[in-house]
Structure 1
Amino acid sequence: MDDDQPIGQWQPRTIWPGQLVGSRVACERYGIDRSTLTRRIKSGDIVPLARLDGAAYVFDLSDLPAERP
């Protein structure tokens, strides 16, 4: 959930085991390195599901399209 998004617009979803992945998987999926991933997150091209403790990004695998953004 985006911290700037009003709670009323947030929609809960069910996430199954194995569906949550980290930055390494996102980088492998797109063939990019970590710094490129970070830039694309900041530009809004790639949207993580959450950021843990302000450090690690977590993605829902279904949110990562097969083609590169």
Structure 2
Amino acid sequence: IKKSGVKYVVGPMETTMEGELHQLLEIVEKAQEVCLKNGAKRVVSVVKIDYKAGGVTIDEKIAKYR
């Protein structure tokens, strides 16, 4: 994720990324490939997508908690 340049926040149970859908899905795919190349027999990825016309940012989503 870091190498991709997208904004991201690591939380206790998930990592939130901000960017264009095609770029984010490519990151998920690469993460799965890394797991498999390092010996994983199976990889399960859970993806949630929050889409809003005009965009939505991580900062907007968590502002009320800070």
TM-score by length of 1: 0.24
Which structure features the higher share of helix residues?
A: 2
Structure number with greater Rg is 2
Higher RCO (C-alpha 8 Å, min separation 6)? 1
TM-score when scaled to structure 2? 0.25
